[in-house]
Amino acid sequence: MGLIDSAKKNILTKEISEVADYEKVSEDTIIRGIKDGTVVIPKNIKRTLKRAVAVGQGLKTKVNANLGTSPDHISIEEEIEKMKIAVEAGADAIMDLSTGGNLIEIRKEILAQCPVCVGTVPVYQAACQTVKQKKKISQMDPELMFDVIEEQAEQGVDFMTIHCGVNRETVEVLKRQPRHIGVVSRGGSFLVKWINANNKENPYYEQYDRLLKIAKKYDITLSLGDGFRPGCSFDASDGPQLSELSILGDLVLRARKEGVQTMIEGPGHMPLDQIQANVLLAKRLGHNAPLYFLGPLVTDIAPGYDHITSAIGGALAASYGVDFICYVTPAEHLRLPNAQDVRDGVIAARIAGHSADIVKNVAGARQQDFEISKWRKERNWDKQREFSIDPIKFEKERAKLLPKHNDVCTMCGEFCSMKEEL
Ligand code: SF4
């Protein structure tokens, strides 16, 4: 029985108890959220998670870290190391976006070793297999697209990004309303190519009931992908993006009816002044399904620092109601991230999430700030480290000081204002 069905019968699962405890909310709150579709717990029935994670309204903002090989850089060891570093840094979920090497083996290893939920974008594998057969992406076989989903479900994938909203209707909108830089979502661009070349409907959209059947069988959470997410500020909030969003809202309702958990994905690149409206629209058109945003990056001019541009957008988006932030690393737009990039990306996204949680009144968020500032005044460095978002970084920086600075830091030295009782 899937989680929605068991919640409807008020069955208390182990995962519901665990997440309620972690979130400091009642088990009833979680059950209610799952029943009405505002909360999801991504977990395949084939998997046992060391840490189950709930995503949705009223809960702590969660962070996902994307990993995965590319055709130009293939190392299972490096991806496993990145996964471990991401989880140690506090990632709540991992997505394996591999497109190079033996995708099945890479995923198997990640699923075996990852303590939190794992997501994928199955169309990547279908596209890679098609290219391996010396065919074009536009020749991708719809049966293969579904076989891959079933295969990944059987392996234990907990949530899947499926670009069901890239359909003939939204592709027409794209033709009528051309963009500055077109379609930047990898999965989205595969499907646009496929639809245009075959003059047929997107198989994921056309056979959505088949997709729901597989999702239901394994209790997979569908993350309805935003194939038309804006890839630059100039394309934000345009026709293709918003028409896709409206279709995703329909698909959320159909999934709920079948007892399938769903999230809606969001942009992308977006100027600061458009974020609030986008979150409100996505919540409204998405029937309050949990929102999973990539960033958004609030400017396009900072390659090398896009963990910062996305954290600015992520903080704002989450403060307006986004529930799940996909991290962006400093390597974005430049190269495949390394382990340090992954760590920096996770911490930046967690800072964004926590900043939002303070204003969303998420249980425990304000208290953490209250505690660290109390110990800052006391100049109790051990306690400050304990309540800091990155205790390892805290320790590393303090270790650079001489013993004479035990009581203060080198910023003001003997003029430390924390020592004054005013
Ligand atoms: S020395 Fe200055 S910066 Fe350092 S703790 Fe004291 S007041 Fe803060």
Average pLDDT over residues 397-414: 89
Based on the fold, state whether residues 92 and 118 are members of the same structural domain: yes
Based on the fold, state whether residues 228 and 116 are members of the same structural domain: yes
Distance 382 CA to ligand 1 centre (A): 15
pLDDT at residue 422, rounded to an integer: 79
* The last residue of a domain, from among 356, 380, 411: 356
Based on the fold, state whether residues 87 and 58 are members of the same structural domain: yes
Which CATH number goes with the domain that contains 102? Answer: 3.20.20.540
Distance 403 CA to ligand 1 centre (A): 15
Tally of domains in the chain: 2
Based on the fold, state whether residues 309 and 409 are members of the same structural domain: no
Distance 194 CA to ligand 1 centre (A): 59
pLDDT surpassing 90 at residue 406: no
Which residue owns the Cα nearest ligand 1 atom 3? 411
Burial classification of residue 420, based on how many CB atoms lie within 10 Å of its CB (0-12 exposed, 13-18 middle, 19 or more buried): exposed
Distance 234 CA to ligand 1 centre (A): 42
Q: Is the peptide bond before 413 cis (omega within 30 degrees of 0)?
A: no
pLDDT at residue 108, rounded to an integer: 97
Considering the domain boundaries, does residue 47 fall inside one? Answer: yes
* The last residue of a domain, from among 356, 388, 410: 356
pLDDT surpassing 90 at residue 402: no
pLDDT at residue 405, rounded to an integer: 81
pLDDT surpassing 90 at residue 4: yes
Average pLDDT over residues 67-93: 97
pLDDT at residue 403, rounded to an integer: 83
Ligand 1 within 6 A of 418 CB?
yes
pLDDT at residue 199, rounded to an integer: 97
Q: Which domain holds residue 379?
A: 365-419
Considering the domain boundaries, does residue 88 fall inside one? Answer: yes
Residue 420 — very low, low, confident or very high, per pLDDT cuts 50/70/90?
Answer: confident
Considering the domain boundaries, does residue 176 fall inside one? Answer: yes
pLDDT, the chain, mean: 96
From 412, 415, 419, give the residue whose CB has the most ligand 1 atoms within 8 Å, as the site to mutate: 412
Distance 90 CA to ligand 1 centre (A): 28
Based on the fold, state whether residues 258 and 387 are members of the same structural domain: no
pLDDT in tens, 343-362: 999 999 999 999 999 999 99
Ligand 1 within 6 A of 48 CB?
no
Residue 404 — very low, low, confident or very high, per pLDDT cuts 50/70/90?
Answer: confident
Nearest atom within ligand 1 for CA of residue 379 = 5
CA distances from 315 to 311, 312, 318, 322, 405 (A): 6, 5, 5, 9, 34
pTM over 0.75: yes
Residue 407 — very low, low, confident or very high, per pLDDT cuts 50/70/90?
Answer: confident
Distance 406 CA to ligand 1 centre (A): 11
Ligand 1 within 6 A of 401 CB?
no
Percent of the chain with pLDDT over 70: 100
Considering the domain boundaries, does residue 341 fall inside one? Answer: yes
Ligand 1 within 6 A of 384 CB?
no
* The last residue of a domain, from among 328, 356, 384: 356
From 418, 420, 421, 422, give the residue whose CB has the most ligand 1 atoms within 8 Å, as the site to mutate: 418
Considering the domain boundaries, does residue 2 fall inside one? Answer: no
Ligand 1 within 6 A of 139 CB?
no
Based on the fold, state whether residues 334 and 411 are members of the same structural domain: no
Based on the fold, state whether residues 81 and 113 are members of the same structural domain: yes
Based on the fold, state whether residues 107 and 67 are members of the same structural domain: yes
Considering the domain boundaries, does residue 61 fall inside one? Answer: yes
Average pLDDT over residues 323-352: 97
Ligand 1 within 6 A of 411 CB?
yes
Distance 411 CA to ligand 1 centre (A): 6
Based on the fold, state whether residues 188 and 293 are members of the same structural domain: yes
pLDDT at residue 297, rounded to an integer: 98
Distance 353 CA to ligand 1 centre (A): 26
Phi, psi of 138 (to 5 degrees): -65, -15
pLDDT in tens, 160-172: 999 999 999 999 9
Based on the fold, state whether residues 130 and 266 are members of the same structural domain: yes
Average pLDDT over residues 226-235: 96
Which residue owns the Cα nearest ligand 1 atom 6? 416
Based on the fold, state whether residues 247 and 352 are members of the same structural domain: yes
Considering the domain boundaries, does residue 10 fall inside one? Answer: no
Considering the domain boundaries, does residue 133 fall inside one? Answer: yes
Ligand 1 within 6 A of 417 CB?
yes
pLDDT in tens, 284-294: 999 999 999 99
Which residue owns the Cα nearest ligand 1 atom 7? 416
Based on the fold, state whether residues 376 and 347 are members of the same structural domain: no
